[in-house]
Chain A
Protein backbone atom coordinates (compact mmCIF):
# COMPACT_ATOMS: atom_id res chain seq x y z
CA UNK A 1 0.00 0.00 0.00
CA UNK A 2 2.38 2.64 -1.29
CA UNK A 3 1.51 6.04 -2.77
CA UNK A 4 1.81 6.72 -6.53
CA UNK A 5 4.48 9.02 -7.92
CA UNK A 6 4.02 12.77 -7.69
CA UNK A 7 6.00 15.97 -7.95
CA UNK A 8 6.54 17.71 -4.66
CA UNK A 9 7.02 21.33 -3.81
CA UNK A 10 7.07 23.14 -0.50
CA UNK A 11 6.75 26.85 -1.24
CA UNK A 12 8.24 29.17 1.35
CA UNK A 13 5.54 31.83 1.23
CA UNK A 14 1.81 32.10 0.71
CA UNK A 15 2.36 34.22 -2.40
CA UNK A 16 4.58 31.57 -3.91
CA UNK A 17 2.11 28.82 -3.02
CA UNK A 18 -0.78 30.70 -4.61
CA UNK A 19 1.29 31.36 -7.71
CA UNK A 20 2.19 27.67 -7.99
CA UNK A 21 -1.41 26.67 -7.41
CA UNK A 22 -2.56 28.92 -10.24
CA UNK A 23 0.05 27.47 -12.61
CA UNK A 24 -0.62 23.85 -11.71
CA UNK A 25 -4.34 23.79 -12.40
CA UNK A 26 -6.25 20.61 -11.63
CA UNK A 27 -3.16 18.48 -11.44
CA UNK A 28 -2.06 19.78 -8.04
CA UNK A 29 -3.34 18.95 -4.59
CA UNK A 30 -2.55 21.04 -1.57
CA UNK A 31 -0.91 19.10 1.26
CA UNK A 32 -1.72 20.50 4.69
CA UNK A 33 -1.56 18.00 7.57
CA UNK A 34 -2.05 15.13 5.17
CA UNK A 35 -4.07 13.02 7.56
CA UNK A 36 -6.86 12.48 5.01
CA UNK A 37 -4.92 12.99 1.79
CA UNK A 38 -2.04 10.62 2.55
CA UNK A 39 -4.27 7.63 3.38
CA UNK A 40 -6.04 8.29 0.08
CA UNK A 41 -2.66 8.33 -1.66
CA UNK A 42 -1.50 5.14 0.07
CA UNK A 43 -4.72 3.41 -0.94
CA UNK A 44 -4.24 4.87 -4.44
CA UNK A 45 -7.66 6.46 -4.31
CA UNK A 46 -6.05 9.79 -5.22
CA UNK A 47 -3.41 10.31 -7.88
CA UNK A 48 -2.39 13.97 -8.13
CA UNK A 49 0.52 14.86 -10.37
CA UNK A 50 1.82 17.38 -7.89
CA UNK A 51 1.63 18.07 -4.18
CA UNK A 52 2.02 21.58 -2.86
CA UNK A 53 3.05 21.23 0.75
CA UNK A 54 2.20 24.26 2.90
CA UNK A 55 4.42 23.19 5.79
CA UNK A 56 7.05 25.92 5.33
CA UNK A 57 4.58 28.82 5.31
CA UNK A 58 4.85 29.97 8.89
CA UNK A 59 2.31 32.76 8.39
CA UNK A 60 -0.39 30.10 8.08
CA UNK A 61 0.18 28.83 11.62
CA UNK A 62 -0.94 30.11 14.97
CA UNK A 63 -3.85 31.56 16.88
CA UNK A 64 -4.18 35.25 17.71
CA UNK A 65 -6.74 37.54 19.28
CA UNK A 66 -8.00 40.43 17.19
CA UNK A 67 -8.77 43.84 18.70
CA UNK A 68 -12.48 43.09 18.31
CA UNK A 69 -12.11 40.15 20.69
CA UNK A 70 -12.46 37.71 17.83
CA UNK A 71 -9.90 34.92 17.48
CA UNK A 72 -8.16 34.15 14.22
CA UNK A 73 -6.37 30.93 13.39
CA UNK A 74 -4.09 30.18 10.46
CA UNK A 75 -5.21 27.37 8.17
CA UNK A 76 -2.18 25.23 9.07
CA UNK A 77 -2.88 25.38 12.80
CA UNK A 78 -3.12 21.80 14.04
CA UNK A 79 -6.00 20.28 15.96
CA UNK A 80 -3.60 19.71 18.86
CA UNK A 81 -2.72 23.42 18.88
CA UNK A 82 -6.40 24.29 19.38
CA UNK A 83 -6.66 21.67 22.10
CA UNK A 84 -3.76 23.16 24.07
CA UNK A 85 -4.02 26.84 23.20
CA UNK A 86 -4.69 29.09 26.24
CA UNK A 87 -6.57 31.65 24.13
CA UNK A 88 -8.92 28.95 22.94
CA UNK A 89 -9.33 27.45 26.38
CA UNK A 90 -10.20 30.85 27.74
CA UNK A 91 -12.24 32.47 25.02
CA UNK A 92 -13.75 29.60 23.04
CA UNK A 93 -14.00 26.74 25.53
CA UNK A 94 -16.06 24.56 23.20
CA UNK A 95 -13.13 24.31 20.78
CA UNK A 96 -10.66 22.33 22.94
CA UNK A 97 -13.53 20.12 24.10
CA UNK A 98 -14.50 19.24 20.54
CA UNK A 99 -10.86 18.75 19.53
CA UNK A 100 -10.52 15.93 22.01
CA UNK A 101 -13.00 14.00 19.88
CA UNK A 102 -11.12 14.55 16.60
CA UNK A 103 -9.51 11.21 15.75
CA UNK A 104 -6.54 10.31 17.96
CA UNK A 105 -3.57 12.20 19.44
CA UNK A 106 -1.21 11.29 16.58
CA UNK A 107 -3.68 12.59 14.00
CA UNK A 108 -4.32 15.75 16.01
CA UNK A 109 -0.58 16.37 16.07
CA UNK A 110 -0.55 16.62 12.25
CA UNK A 111 -4.07 17.38 11.05
CA UNK A 112 -5.00 21.04 10.51
CA UNK A 113 -8.15 23.12 10.58
CA UNK A 114 -7.64 24.24 6.98
CA UNK A 115 -7.11 20.71 5.76
CA UNK A 116 -10.21 19.50 7.51
CA UNK A 117 -12.38 22.33 6.19
CA UNK A 118 -11.10 21.89 2.64
CA UNK A 119 -11.58 18.12 2.77
CA UNK A 120 -15.22 18.63 3.85
CA UNK A 121 -15.91 15.20 5.23
CA UNK A 122 -19.51 15.50 6.45
CA UNK A 123 -18.59 13.56 9.59
CA UNK A 124 -15.66 15.83 10.53
CA UNK A 125 -15.99 18.11 13.51
CA UNK A 126 -14.35 21.27 12.14
CA UNK A 127 -16.87 22.22 9.43
CA UNK A 128 -19.66 21.83 11.98
CA UNK A 129 -17.78 23.64 14.72
CA UNK A 130 -17.02 26.60 12.45
CA UNK A 131 -20.70 26.70 11.57
CA UNK A 132 -21.74 26.57 15.21
CA UNK A 133 -19.36 29.42 16.03
CA UNK A 134 -20.47 31.44 12.98
CA UNK A 135 -16.87 31.59 11.84
CA UNK A 136 -15.64 33.21 8.65
CA UNK A 137 -13.37 31.28 6.31
CA UNK A 138 -10.84 33.60 4.69
CA UNK A 139 -9.68 32.20 1.37
CA UNK A 140 -6.97 33.56 -0.87
CA UNK A 141 -6.00 33.16 -4.49
CA UNK A 142 -3.14 34.67 -6.42
CA UNK A 143 -5.42 37.54 -7.40
CA UNK A 144 -7.87 38.12 -4.55
CA UNK A 145 -9.14 37.25 -1.11
CA UNK A 146 -12.71 36.26 -0.15
CA UNK A 147 -14.50 35.91 3.16
CA UNK A 148 -16.97 33.02 3.24
CA UNK A 149 -19.37 32.42 6.13
CA UNK A 150 -18.73 28.95 7.55
CA UNK A 151 -22.38 28.01 6.96
CA UNK A 152 -21.85 28.49 3.24
CA UNK A 153 -18.49 26.77 2.98
CA UNK A 154 -19.22 23.04 2.81
CA UNK A 155 -21.43 22.28 -0.18
CA UNK A 156 -21.67 18.51 0.03
CA UNK A 157 -19.60 15.39 0.59
CA UNK A 158 -15.98 16.44 -0.05
CA UNK A 159 -17.06 19.60 -1.87
CA UNK A 160 -16.68 23.19 -0.72
CA UNK A 161 -17.10 26.75 -1.89
CA UNK A 162 -13.36 26.88 -2.68
CA UNK A 163 -12.67 27.75 -6.32
CA UNK A 164 -9.72 26.50 -8.36
CA UNK A 165 -6.59 28.38 -7.37
CA UNK A 166 -7.88 29.23 -3.89
CA UNK A 167 -6.48 28.25 -0.51
CA UNK A 168 -7.87 28.65 2.97
CA UNK A 169 -5.69 31.26 4.67
CA UNK A 170 -7.33 31.91 8.00
CA UNK A 171 -10.45 31.25 10.05
CA UNK A 172 -11.99 33.97 12.17
CA UNK A 173 -14.12 33.15 15.17
CA UNK A 174 -16.35 35.98 16.47
CA UNK A 175 -15.98 36.97 20.10
CA UNK A 176 -17.78 34.70 22.56
CA UNK A 177 -20.30 36.64 24.68
CA UNK A 178 -20.17 36.39 28.43
CA UNK A 179 -23.60 34.78 28.58
CA UNK A 180 -22.78 31.87 26.26
CA UNK A 181 -22.94 28.16 27.19
CA UNK A 182 -22.43 25.23 24.92
CA UNK A 183 -23.18 21.59 24.31
CA UNK A 184 -21.50 18.93 22.23
CA UNK A 185 -22.11 15.25 21.77
CA UNK A 186 -21.47 12.71 19.07
CA UNK A 187 -22.05 9.01 18.58
CA UNK A 188 -19.26 7.11 16.93
CA UNK A 189 -18.63 3.40 16.85
CA UNK A 190 -15.37 3.77 18.77
CA UNK A 191 -13.79 6.81 20.40
CA UNK A 192 -11.95 8.71 17.69
CA UNK A 193 -13.87 7.27 14.75
CA UNK A 194 -15.76 9.61 12.51
CA UNK A 195 -19.12 10.33 14.07
CA UNK A 196 -22.27 8.58 12.91
CA UNK A 197 -24.18 11.63 14.05
CA UNK A 198 -23.21 14.55 16.23
CA UNK A 199 -24.59 17.84 17.41
CA UNK A 200 -23.15 21.00 18.90
CA UNK A 201 -24.84 24.13 20.12
CA UNK A 202 -24.33 27.46 21.80
CA UNK A 203 -26.97 29.11 23.94
CA UNK A 204 -26.75 32.66 25.26
CA UNK A 205 -28.73 32.81 28.48
CA UNK A 206 -29.08 36.05 30.39
CA UNK A 207 -29.28 36.61 34.12
CA UNK A 208 -33.03 36.07 34.03
CA UNK A 209 -32.58 32.61 32.52
CA UNK A 210 -33.88 33.96 29.21
CA UNK A 211 -32.32 32.62 26.04
CA UNK A 212 -31.10 35.49 23.89
CA UNK A 213 -29.41 33.53 21.12
CA UNK A 214 -29.29 29.89 20.09
CA UNK A 215 -27.34 28.09 17.44
CA UNK A 216 -27.31 24.37 16.88
CA UNK A 217 -25.55 22.31 14.22
CA UNK A 218 -26.07 18.67 13.26
CA UNK A 219 -23.24 16.88 11.53
CA UNK A 220 -22.35 13.46 10.12
CA UNK A 221 -26.04 12.71 9.57
CA UNK A 222 -26.36 14.18 6.10
CA UNK A 223 -24.16 15.34 3.23
CA UNK A 224 -23.05 18.47 5.01
CA UNK A 225 -23.34 19.90 8.51
CA UNK A 226 -26.64 21.65 8.96
CA UNK A 227 -27.86 24.48 11.17
CA UNK A 228 -31.03 23.62 13.04
CA UNK A 229 -33.35 26.48 12.03
CA UNK A 230 -35.82 25.62 14.77
CA UNK A 231 -33.23 26.55 17.42
CA UNK A 232 -34.43 30.12 16.89
CA UNK A 233 -37.64 29.16 18.68
CA UNK A 234 -35.71 28.94 21.91
CA UNK A 235 -34.91 32.66 21.81
CA UNK A 236 -36.98 34.91 24.00
CA UNK A 237 -37.83 32.54 26.82
CA UNK A 238 -36.39 30.00 29.21
CA UNK A 239 -34.99 26.80 27.71
CA UNK A 240 -37.61 24.30 28.85
CA UNK A 241 -37.77 20.56 28.34
CA UNK A 242 -40.77 21.00 26.07
CA UNK A 243 -39.06 23.62 23.95
CA UNK A 244 -35.98 21.42 23.62
CA UNK A 245 -38.11 18.45 22.59
CA UNK A 246 -39.85 20.55 19.93
CA UNK A 247 -36.54 21.77 18.50
CA UNK A 248 -35.16 18.22 18.51
CA UNK A 249 -38.18 16.88 16.67
CA UNK A 250 -37.94 19.71 14.15
CA UNK A 251 -34.24 18.95 13.68
CA UNK A 252 -35.10 15.36 12.85
CA UNK A 253 -37.55 16.47 10.19
CA UNK A 254 -35.06 18.90 8.66
CA UNK A 255 -32.42 16.29 7.79
CA UNK A 256 -32.05 14.14 4.68
CA UNK A 257 -29.99 11.40 6.28
CA UNK A 258 -27.11 9.41 4.84
CA UNK A 259 -27.13 5.63 5.00
CA UNK A 260 -24.02 3.45 5.02
CA UNK A 261 -22.73 0.25 6.57
CA UNK A 262 -22.10 1.93 9.91
CA UNK A 263 -25.58 3.39 10.32
CA UNK A 264 -28.88 3.34 8.50
CA UNK A 265 -30.78 6.51 7.66
CA UNK A 266 -33.44 5.63 10.23
CA UNK A 267 -30.87 5.24 12.99
CA UNK A 268 -29.26 8.54 12.04
CA UNK A 269 -32.62 10.31 12.27
CA UNK A 270 -33.20 8.91 15.74
CA UNK A 271 -29.74 10.12 16.72
CA UNK A 272 -30.39 13.58 15.28
CA UNK A 273 -33.33 14.01 17.62
CA UNK A 274 -31.55 12.52 20.60
CA UNK A 275 -28.30 14.41 20.08
CA UNK A 276 -30.06 17.72 19.49
CA UNK A 277 -32.04 17.37 22.67
CA UNK A 278 -29.01 16.30 24.65
CA UNK A 279 -26.70 19.11 23.58
CA UNK A 280 -29.36 21.73 24.21
CA UNK A 281 -30.01 20.34 27.68
CA UNK A 282 -26.29 20.10 28.31
CA UNK A 283 -25.85 23.78 27.42
CA UNK A 284 -28.88 24.90 29.40
CA UNK A 285 -27.65 23.02 32.45
CA UNK A 286 -24.13 24.41 32.21
CA UNK A 287 -23.15 26.66 35.09
CA UNK A 288 -23.40 30.32 34.17
CA UNK A 289 -19.99 31.46 32.98
CA UNK A 290 -18.31 33.92 35.32
CA UNK A 291 -17.00 37.18 33.99
CA UNK A 292 -13.53 36.06 34.98
CA UNK A 293 -13.66 32.97 32.81
CA UNK A 294 -14.74 35.04 29.81
CA UNK A 295 -11.95 37.54 30.00
Chain B
Protein backbone atom coordinates (compact mmCIF):
# COMPACT_ATOMS: atom_id res chain seq x y z
CA UNK B 1 0.00 0.00 0.00
CA UNK B 2 1.29 3.44 -0.93
CA UNK B 3 4.68 2.14 -1.96
CA UNK B 4 7.22 4.76 -2.80
CA UNK B 5 8.00 4.90 -6.50
CA UNK B 6 11.33 5.65 -8.11
CA UNK B 7 11.20 8.06 -11.01
CA UNK B 8 13.79 9.35 -13.45
CA UNK B 9 13.29 12.35 -15.68
CA UNK B 10 14.90 15.39 -17.24
CA UNK B 11 14.27 18.70 -15.53
CA UNK B 12 15.62 21.85 -17.15
CA UNK B 13 18.02 19.72 -19.13
CA UNK B 14 19.47 17.79 -16.19
CA UNK B 15 18.85 14.16 -15.26
CA UNK B 16 16.89 13.94 -12.06
CA UNK B 17 15.91 10.99 -9.92
CA UNK B 18 13.42 10.87 -7.11
CA UNK B 19 11.58 8.52 -4.81
CA UNK B 20 8.05 9.68 -4.37
CA UNK B 21 4.71 8.78 -2.90
CA UNK B 22 2.23 8.25 -5.77
CA UNK B 23 0.04 11.08 -4.53
CA UNK B 24 2.81 13.69 -4.65
CA UNK B 25 1.86 16.25 -7.28
CA UNK B 26 4.36 17.25 -9.92
CA UNK B 27 4.22 20.79 -8.55
CA UNK B 28 5.20 19.66 -5.06
CA UNK B 29 7.90 17.40 -6.47
CA UNK B 30 9.46 20.36 -8.28
CA UNK B 31 9.08 22.72 -5.35
CA UNK B 32 9.81 20.51 -2.37
CA UNK B 33 12.11 17.79 -3.76
CA UNK B 34 14.03 19.78 -6.36
CA UNK B 35 13.78 23.20 -4.70
CA UNK B 36 12.52 24.73 -7.95
CA UNK B 37 10.25 27.19 -6.20
CA UNK B 38 9.60 29.29 -9.29
CA UNK B 39 6.61 27.04 -10.01
CA UNK B 40 3.87 28.61 -7.89
CA UNK B 41 0.69 27.15 -6.50
CA UNK B 42 -2.28 29.46 -6.77
CA UNK B 43 -5.29 27.16 -6.55
CA UNK B 44 -4.31 23.48 -6.75
CA UNK B 45 -7.46 22.67 -8.66
CA UNK B 46 -6.38 23.49 -12.16
CA UNK B 47 -7.87 26.93 -12.74
CA UNK B 48 -5.28 29.63 -12.08
CA UNK B 49 -2.38 28.41 -14.21
CA UNK B 50 0.37 29.67 -11.87
CA UNK B 51 1.90 26.17 -11.75
CA UNK B 52 2.17 25.77 -15.53
CA UNK B 53 5.32 23.93 -16.62
CA UNK B 54 6.40 22.40 -19.91
CA UNK B 55 6.04 18.64 -20.25
CA UNK B 56 7.72 17.33 -23.37
CA UNK B 57 7.29 20.84 -24.74
CA UNK B 58 3.58 21.19 -23.97
CA UNK B 59 2.26 23.54 -21.30
CA UNK B 60 0.55 21.59 -18.51
CA UNK B 61 -0.71 22.29 -15.02
CA UNK B 62 1.74 20.83 -12.52
CA UNK B 63 -0.97 20.69 -9.83
CA UNK B 64 -3.00 18.32 -12.00
CA UNK B 65 -0.31 15.69 -12.47
CA UNK B 66 1.43 13.31 -10.16
CA UNK B 67 5.18 13.09 -10.11
CA UNK B 68 4.92 9.36 -10.89
CA UNK B 69 3.33 10.27 -14.20
CA UNK B 70 6.37 12.16 -15.45
CA UNK B 71 8.74 9.23 -15.14
CA UNK B 72 10.87 9.34 -18.27
CA UNK B 73 9.58 12.73 -19.37
CA UNK B 74 11.24 16.06 -20.08
CA UNK B 75 10.11 18.89 -17.82
CA UNK B 76 11.04 22.57 -18.11
CA UNK B 77 10.18 25.10 -15.40
CA UNK B 78 10.56 28.86 -15.37
CA UNK B 79 14.06 28.41 -13.97
CA UNK B 80 15.02 26.56 -17.13
CA UNK B 81 13.83 29.04 -19.73
CA UNK B 82 17.04 31.08 -19.81
CA UNK B 83 20.61 30.37 -18.77
CA UNK B 84 21.44 31.47 -15.22
CA UNK B 85 21.76 35.25 -15.00
CA UNK B 86 20.09 35.89 -18.35
CA UNK B 87 16.63 36.60 -19.67
CA UNK B 88 15.00 35.25 -22.82
CA UNK B 89 13.61 37.77 -25.27
CA UNK B 90 10.16 36.93 -23.91
CA UNK B 91 11.21 37.62 -20.34
CA UNK B 92 12.90 40.86 -21.36
CA UNK B 93 9.70 41.94 -23.08
CA UNK B 94 7.70 41.17 -19.97
CA UNK B 95 9.96 43.57 -18.12
CA UNK B 96 9.89 46.20 -20.82
CA UNK B 97 6.10 46.16 -21.09
CA UNK B 98 5.52 46.04 -17.32
CA UNK B 99 3.74 42.73 -17.80
CA UNK B 100 4.23 41.76 -14.18
CA UNK B 101 3.60 43.39 -10.86
CA UNK B 102 3.60 40.99 -7.92
CA UNK B 103 5.25 38.30 -10.05
CA UNK B 104 3.21 35.41 -8.72
CA UNK B 105 1.51 34.45 -11.99
CA UNK B 106 4.60 35.32 -14.02
CA UNK B 107 6.29 31.88 -14.15
CA UNK B 108 3.09 30.25 -15.42
CA UNK B 109 2.52 33.06 -17.91
CA UNK B 110 6.07 32.68 -19.23
CA UNK B 111 5.96 28.91 -19.61
CA UNK B 112 2.55 29.10 -21.29
CA UNK B 113 3.67 31.85 -23.66
CA UNK B 114 6.97 30.11 -24.36
CA UNK B 115 5.20 26.97 -25.60
CA UNK B 116 2.56 28.98 -27.41
CA UNK B 117 5.04 31.01 -29.44
CA UNK B 118 6.80 27.87 -30.55
CA UNK B 119 3.52 26.45 -31.78
CA UNK B 120 2.15 29.70 -33.17
CA UNK B 121 5.03 32.00 -34.12
CA UNK B 122 2.89 34.67 -35.82
CA UNK B 123 -0.10 35.05 -33.54
CA UNK B 124 -2.88 37.58 -33.69
CA UNK B 125 -3.79 39.55 -30.58
CA UNK B 126 -6.88 37.37 -30.25
CA UNK B 127 -4.81 34.19 -30.37
CA UNK B 128 -2.45 35.50 -27.68
CA UNK B 129 -5.36 36.34 -25.44
CA UNK B 130 -6.82 32.87 -25.88
CA UNK B 131 -3.46 31.23 -25.32
CA UNK B 132 -3.12 32.75 -21.85
CA UNK B 133 -6.79 32.51 -20.92
CA UNK B 134 -5.98 29.68 -18.55
CA UNK B 135 -3.55 31.82 -16.54
CA UNK B 136 -5.04 34.22 -14.03
CA UNK B 137 -3.29 37.47 -13.23
CA UNK B 138 -4.73 39.70 -10.55
CA UNK B 139 -2.43 42.71 -11.00
CA UNK B 140 -1.92 43.75 -14.60
CA UNK B 141 -5.30 43.41 -16.29
CA UNK B 142 -3.47 41.20 -18.86
CA UNK B 143 -3.12 43.91 -21.49
CA UNK B 144 0.64 44.44 -21.01
CA UNK B 145 1.16 40.67 -20.94
CA UNK B 146 -0.51 40.36 -24.33
CA UNK B 147 1.62 43.27 -25.55
CA UNK B 148 4.81 41.61 -24.34
CA UNK B 149 4.03 38.31 -26.04
CA UNK B 150 3.07 40.01 -29.30
CA UNK B 151 6.19 42.17 -29.21
CA UNK B 152 8.31 39.05 -28.79
CA UNK B 153 6.67 37.37 -31.77
CA UNK B 154 7.06 40.48 -33.88
CA UNK B 155 10.72 40.92 -33.01
CA UNK B 156 11.44 37.27 -33.79
CA UNK B 157 9.66 37.56 -37.11
CA UNK B 158 11.68 40.67 -37.91
CA UNK B 159 14.76 38.51 -37.64
CA UNK B 160 15.58 39.08 -33.99
CA UNK B 161 17.49 36.32 -32.24
CA UNK B 162 15.24 33.54 -30.95
CA UNK B 163 15.36 33.20 -27.21
CA UNK B 164 18.65 35.05 -27.04
CA UNK B 165 19.88 35.70 -23.57
CA UNK B 166 20.19 39.24 -22.32
CA UNK B 167 22.66 40.02 -19.58
CA UNK B 168 21.24 41.03 -16.27
List chain A positions with a Cβ less than 8 A from chain B: 1-8, 10, 34-35, 38-39, 41-43, 51, 53, 55, 80, 100, 103-107, 109-110, 190-192
Alpha-carbon separation in the docked complex, A80 to B44 (Å) = 22
Alpha-carbon separation in the docked complex, A41 to B22 (Å) = 12
Contact of B60 among A8, A42, A109 (CB under 8 A): A109
Given contacts A3-B25, A7-B1, A51-B22, contact A105 B44 (CB under 8 A): no
Which 9 A-B residue pairs are closest in the complex by CB-CB distance? Answer: A104-B134, A8-B22, A39-B45, A109-B58, A1-B44, A38-B64, A3-B23, A106-B59, A106-B61
Contact A6 B44 (CB under 8 A): no
Q: Binding site of B, secondary structure by majority: helix, strand, loop or mixed?
A: mixed
> Which of A4, A8, A10, A51 has the most chain B CB atoms inside 10 A of its CB?
A8
> Which of B22, B25, B55, B130 has the most chain A CB atoms inside 10 A of its CB?
B22
Known: A38-B63, A191-B133. 10 other contacts (CB 8 A): A3-B23, A3-B25, A6-B22, A34-B64, A42-B63, A104-B49, A105-B112, A106-B52, A106-B61, A110-B64
Contact A5 B23 (CB under 8 A): yes
Q: B123-150: which have CB < 8 Å to A?
A: 130-131, 133-135
Contacts of B69 in A (CB 8 A): 10, 34, 53, 55
| A/B interface sample: 5 pairs, CB < 8 A | A2-B25, A7-B3, A34-B69, A55-B69, A106-B49
Quote the shortest CB–CB distance from A199 to chain B (angstroms): 21
Contacts of B25 in A (CB 8 A): 2-3, 38, 42
Contact of A110 among B3, B22, B61, B112 (CB under 8 A): B61
Contacts of A190 in B (CB 8 A): 133
B151 at interface, CB cutoff 8 A: no
Quote the shortest CB–CB distance from B35 to chain A (angstroms): 19
**Considering only CB atoms, which chain B residue lies closest to A49 in the complex?**
B1
| Per-residue contact bits, chain B 92-129, to A (CB 8 Å; 1 contact, 0 not) | 00000000000000000000100110000000000000
Alpha-carbon separation in the docked complex, A3 to B64 (Å) = 10
Contact A103 B130 (CB under 8 A): no
Contact B46 A38 (CB under 8 A): yes
Given contacts A43-B45, A106-B134, A192-B134, contact A4 B23 (CB under 8 A): yes
| Per-residue contact bits, chain B 47-86, to A (CB 8 Å; 1 contact, 0 not) | 0010010010011110111101100000000000000000
Contact of A106 among B3, B5, B60 (CB under 8 A): B60
Contacts of B45 in A (CB 8 A): 1, 39, 42-43
